[in-house]
Each structure stands twice: as C-alpha cells, then as structure tokens.
Structure 1
Amino acid sequence: MIHKIGHRGAKGFLAENTLESFSKALDLGANAIELDVHVCATGEIVVIHDFTVDRTTNGFGEVHQLSLSELKKFRIEALYTIPLLEEVLDLVAGKCWVNVELKGHGTAEPVAGLIERYVNEKGWEYADFVVSSFQKEELKRIKKINPEIPIGVLTQASVEQAIHWADQLSAQAIHPHFSLLTEDNCKEAQAKGYAIFTWTVNEEDDIRRVKALGVEGIISDFPNRL
C-alpha cells in the first residue's frame, strides 16, 4: 500500500499548515500528513513552514522571535491561525500518522520530548511518527535523544547523498524530490531497507511514474489524486 501523505495538510485546497487543511486532507483520503515546525520565542512548537510569518499571515517577523500569544493573533487568509504541533496531533489522533519536518533550528529536543509524551501518555506509538529534515545535525540530535523515533532524510539534490546520510544516522526513510527518482536508486534505497517518501507530487503523470517505481509514500498537495 502506498501511503497518501497530505503536504502541509491539503495545500491544494486550503491554507497550508492549518488545522482546517489537515482536517481536509483526512477527508480527501490521506492516511498521513506532512507538516513543518519551528520553536517560537516562548518555547512552544508551532506549525509553519517559513522562518518568518510574512508570506503566510497578515503579520511580520521571525517565528523564533515572536511569542505564542503574538503568533496566535496573526491570521492566515483572514480566517485561520497558526496551530501548535500539539493541536494538530490531537486533531488527527488515531486517524493517520504524522511526518514532522524540522525546519527551525533547535527543534529536535522539544519535538522529541513531545513525541515521547504522546507515546507514553496518549496512546500513540513511535511508528505513528516520522521526523524528517534537510538538516543533518537536527536529525542526529533526534537519534541521540531517542533512537526509537523514526527519522527520514530530506533531499532535493541527490538520492545517493540521502542514502549515505541515512546509513550514518540509522534512518528509516529517505524523502527525495520526485524528480530525482530512478528505478536504480529506488532499488538501491529499498535494498538497504529504507522507505521512500517522495515530494511534492501533484500532476497525474508524475504520480503514475512514482507509483510505478514502487515508492512507499507520496507527499502531495492533492491527496485525493493519490
């Protein structure tokens, strides 16, 4: 079974990385969601892609310099708010697994702590999570804190490099851009035991191609197309 992973929720339908977008992804048949996290000035883990709020909200400034109360006052497309990672997990609990992408610096420790709490106190399993990043050091910290947390190596440059990092980090998955995938490098990754979760695949022809390569999961703005 190919995992249908909603990119920042259902980005093709509703504002990215909002509770409403994640809910829409589930309605459209996603059995996993992908989201991005930063740590704000008051220490909470917030779900937003960019290092600033400028593009996606009516506010301005760097996420790590703004408090949670300040961030919550901003509006996304005049309707939505920036969610906490906890709010997203509580929304999707028992309905899908979650790919947490570490965007901001210093996100590994609080994300690992939150995952541990959800596993120990709220009935989640480590297999309900994959923590991915382009940042090797953040992934190293996750593995050092808790080797049970599954990690995935993101790349938009080279599948071979992702496999190399995955070997070094004892990763469970690689997350290459779909344009990098070939029959050979997919077979190489899978022979080493790595799942392939590829992004961001929106067009029907591209979806057919990556499905034919036998990837384990597809990240898409349009999970209904998967």
Structure 2
Amino acid sequence: MLKIGHRGAKGHAPENSLVSFQKAIELGVDMIELDVRLSLDKVPIVIHDETIDRTTSKTGLVTDYSAKELRQVDIPTLLDVFTLVNNRCEINVELKTFSATQPVLDLITQSTFDKSKILISSFDWNALQEIRFHDETLKIGVLTETDLDLALAYAKFIKAYSIHPYFHLLTAENAAKIKEKGFKIFPWTVNEPEDITFVISLGVDGIITDFPERL
C-alpha cells in the first residue's frame, strides 16, 4: 500500500512547499500529492488555492503574479518540485484548472522526470479527458467527493489508472467493486488513526494523508 503525502507532509510543514515535499521524502513516502495552477506567464505553479492570501504574506490571484514573483514568496513551480524530488518518489499532480492541462503536459514531455512516476488527477474530468486525448500512457486518477459510481464509469471511459475518493464515500462493497474493475483506490485525506485503520481494512492501494508517518 502506497504512502502518499498530501501537499507534501502538510501536517509538518507549509503545504505545497519544497520544505514540505522534502519532509515527505524523509518520512518515506512512495508518492507526494500536489496541486497545480498557472501563473500570469502560464507556468505550472504548485498551490492549492485560487489566491495566494492563505499561504503567503501577500494577497491576490495566483494568475496575477508571474512565476518569478510567486517563487519569491516560496510558491514553487512544478519544475522546481520535479528537480527536488529527482525521481526519488512518485508524484500525483492534481490539476486545479483546465487551463493548466497543456502546460503540464508540455513540462512532463520536456522534463527528465520519469513519466511512469507521474499520476495526473483532477476534479475537472474534462481536463483528464484532455490528458488522455494527448497521451495514452500517462497514469490518470479520477477525483470525486460525491459520486463513486459516476467516477467508476468515467474511469472506464478514459482508461484511468486510479480513483481518488473522499474517504467517507468508501464502503466494503464499493471498494470491492472498484478493485474488481482493475482500478487502484487512493482515498483522501485520511489523518486520524481510526480512519486509517478503516480504509486499510477495505484493501485500498494507497492513502493520501497529511501525516505519512502514521501509515
């Protein structure tokens, strides 16, 4: 079962920061999960929110700042993370916007990062379809917090690798159904020991958590 660090090691360091990703690696993760949006100059940037208000001392939309300006307030580019990780673990890139799809694909193509260690996920299923249209080999994860049956149907349609459900959606029955169809199950965000025990009992393939050391 894969140990997947949510936004790095969010329980220990500022989320989606290089420090957080380094910490996750030190905690022995198999994969880090991160969020990607585009900067003003269309560079894939690693941040969850639409604005930089919550995670930096500045304010405003991510799209109002250049990649250089964002790096100055400790928001890394996706390339920065590829460089730091340097194939030491897998990376789950969550696309927060459809517009990030092509720039992320371009970066993956140009980068020396091992493509087989990259998994692209999104709540924007159109973005996932776009990924599949351009690349038949990239691993794709279908994110859902509402409807597992729909996610399963869509995963079949786009030949996904995994399904990433909000962990409260999982039951022994639907987990078995997903596995039976050949998809990996990576639930999020599972932090409490009793919840970890529960999802492990369902036979999930990996757990996305803020505290990788608890797995």
TM-score by length of 2: 0.97
What SS does structure 2 have at the residue aligned with 1:153? strand
User: Are the counterparts in 2 of residues 13 and 21 from structure 1 also a CA contact under 8 Å?
Assistant: yes
- Kindly state the Cα deviation for residue 31 of structure 1 after the two structures are TM-superposed: 1.2
Corresponding position of 2:62: 63
Alignment of 1:4 onto 2:35: no
- Kindly state the Cα deviation for residue 19 of structure 1 after the two structures are TM-superposed: 0.3
Runs of 4+ with deviation above 4 angstroms: none
Corresponding position of 2:86: 93
- Whole-angstrom CA distance in 1 between matches of 2:203 and 2:192: 17
User: Are the counterparts in 2 of residues 10 and 222 from structure 1 also a CA contact under 8 Å?
Assistant: yes
Query: 1:23 corresponds to which letter in structure 2?
Result: Q
Q: 1:123 to 1:5 in 2, by over 3 A?
A: closer
- Aligned ranges for residues 1-226 of structure 1 at < 5 Å? 2-74=1-73, 81-118=74-111, 122=112, 124=114, 126-226=115-215
Q: 1:41 to 1:123 in 2, by over 3 A?
A: closer
1:164-186 CA deviation, whole Å, 9 max, x = no partner?
11112111110001111111111
- Whole-angstrom CA distance in 1 between matches of 2:108 and 2:118: 8
- Over the matched positions of the two proteins, sequence identity in percent amounts to 45
- Whole-angstrom CA distance in 2 between matches of 1:88 and 1:214: 30
Corresponding position of 1:77: none
- Whole-angstrom CA distance in 1 between matches of 2:20 and 2:64: 25
- Kindly state the Cα deviation for residue 123 of structure 1 after the two structures are TM-superposed: 5.7
- Whole-angstrom CA distance in 2 between matches of 1:225 and 1:29: 11
What SS does structure 1 have at the residue aligned with 2:99? coil
